[in-house]
A and B are shown apart, each in its own frame.
Chain A
């Protein structure tokens, strides 16, 4: 996989004015000999909130890896603010909960401070301004009183808000949330949507992968329906048609057509891998 060699001190590219935040053209990715994504093209504007939905193995995680620039496309290209993503430090990736070592000896403030590391440079420590900035980021997600907690002591919602604070600390303009809502109760989800909306008003573009079709149709500007190919990107009402959903999920989704529209009775997958 292509990961570009970087100079010792990294200088991210200047954003090209007028270029879309994210643009994919004819993106195809083969992964371990299998086609994970095929001929995907789309563009996102700044401040958009996008839900990425599709069954397991649809390529959601692969898409995110290409967008953050840790995986190279087999053909086609992805551009973030007019440049190949691998040079940017303005793209934040929020890991799935199962991929984090919650017993790691760090506090909430330590984790948020990690977002600043890309802007500190090698051989330099955190300054007073960095520490103040971290405090401000924690304020914005409502966690300033938890700054000194060890991360294993957090609830699921707090864990996700901590990673959002880290993305703010990173000064991210594109935030990729991998299954960040799964397993959270309604109030915790509401709190996170509140923060996402605030960030989106500031111009941060948010992509969130999820299995929850209802949430994605209620809380996002556009939804992206993915199953290796891009099956639809647009308003939920236009994308979630019975035909397209069947195309994406095959027999794994129960659809009931009612007078008000389509009702989804549940997606039978959902073990976040």
Chain B
């Protein structure tokens, strides 16, 4: 028993681990809450594209400030909001299909980001941090930024809960109730953008989509009410963050990857074991049905 407590409490004696835990809990909750709409509206590709499109902003912030975190955050935020609105406008009267256009923009922006960062000597380590996260390098001021902007995202989702619900379930109803549908759609895109930036340092650009989509998809398998799905997704996101960080501490794997792997494992468990709908359940029914 003492051994177990020591295993759990041990990492907390390092201040960088404590800051890491606070960061992953906040990021897990914010991403999963917004991610609920990403899953329900089928926007996973948009989320992935947006995360990658932020890289040139990160790169410019990095270049102009010599790597100061605060500056990188603001550049990333500006880029993400612009990219969200830009990608949102794509597809209206475009010559190519919407997903093709998003693919072109996102790969182009991503390449631009890598090109910019590669102009600096000894760039490989920093690039790796942007791509895969560096949660153990989170500072106190990073935590403040994450908390404030994450809080704004959660508050907005709560305030516009019923409007986002109508918009996601039945866009024509949103129009016939004369809700400001276009404004709400862009607001949701901006919220996703802010969630992406807030999580940049924890999981990085490349794994971001998992934080948005996987906890929400797991919750989707487990419940059939939007409010419960949101709460459950937030819980799963936060739990995966904590469990992933412990994993990375003890078996020395990259923290961002460990967090995402925990998310994925939970999703697979749910897929197999959900009462009544899980794959194992269906298999059991088939076996029992045979004489």
A residues whose Cβ falls under 8 Å from a Cβ of B? 3, 6, 8, 10, 12, 68-70, 86-89, 91-93, 95, 100-101, 104-107, 110-111, 113-115, 117-118, 120, 122-123, 125-126, 150, 152, 166, 170
Within 8 A of A (CB), among B51-99: none
Pairs A-B, 10 closest by C-beta atoms: A118-B177, A150-B224, A10-B178, A70-B175, A105-B226, A105-B224, A105-B229, A114-B166, A68-B176, A117-B162
Within 8 A of A (CB), among B30-44: 40
In contact, A70 and B176 (Cβ under 8 angstroms): yes
Question: How far is A162 from B159 in the complex, measured between Cα atoms in Å?
Answer: 26
Q: Interface residues of B, CB < 8 Å — how many?
A: 25
In contact, A8 and B165 (Cβ under 8 angstroms): no
Determine the chain A residues whose CB is within 8 A of the CB of B159 once the complex forms. 123
Choose from A106, A117, A125, A150 the contact partner of B177 (Cβ within 8 Å).
A117
Determine the chain B residues whose CB is within 8 A of the CB of A69 once the complex forms. 175-176
Determine the chain A residues whose CB is within 8 A of the CB of B176 once the complex forms. 68-70, 89, 91-93, 118
In contact, B175 and A68 (Cβ under 8 angstroms): yes
Question: How far is A110 from B170 in the complex, measured between Cα atoms in Å?
Answer: 12
Determine the chain B residues whose CB is within 8 A of the CB of A125 once the complex forms. 162
Chain B 150-187, CB within 8 Å of chain A: the 1/0 string? Answer: 00000000011011011011101101111110000000
Determine the chain A residues whose CB is within 8 A of the CB of B160 once the complex forms. 122
Question: How far is A70 from B170 in the complex, measured between Cα atoms in Å?
Answer: 13
Within 8 A of A (CB), among B174-203: 175-180
B residues whose Cβ falls under 8 Å from a Cβ of A? 40, 159-160, 162-163, 165-166, 168-170, 172-173, 175-180, 220, 223-226, 228-229
Question: How far is A12 from B170 in the complex, measured between Cα atoms in Å?
Answer: 20
Determine the chain A residues whose CB is within 8 A of the CB of B225 once the complex forms. 105-107, 110, 150
From A12, A68, A70, A106, name the one whose CB has the most chain B CB atoms within 10 angstroms: A106
Question: How far is A117 from B165 in the complex, measured between Cα atoms in Å?
Answer: 10
Known pairs A105-B40, A105-B226; A100 contacts B170 (CB<8 A): yes
Choose from B179, B180, B228 the contact partner of A117 (Cβ within 8 Å).
B179
Query: Please, which residue of chain A has its CB at the minimum distance from the CB of B219?
Result: A105
Question: How far is A118 from B10 in the complex, measured between Cα atoms in Å?
Answer: 54
Ordered by A's residue number, 7 sampled pairs between the chains whose C-beta atoms are within 8 Å are A3-B175, A92-B176, A105-B40, A105-B223, A105-B225, A106-B169, A122-B160
Question: How far is A92 from B177 in the complex, measured between Cα atoms in Å?
Answer: 9
In contact, A93 and B178 (Cβ under 8 angstroms): no
Choose from A70, A107, A110, A117 the contact partner of B163 (Cβ within 8 Å).
A117
A170 to chain B minimum Cβ distance, whole angstroms, is 7
Choose from A92, A93, A104, A150 the contact partner of B169 (Cβ within 8 Å).
A104
Question: How far is A114 from B228 in the complex, measured between Cα atoms in Å?
Answer: 18
Determine the chain B residues whose CB is within 8 A of the CB of A3 once the complex forms. 175
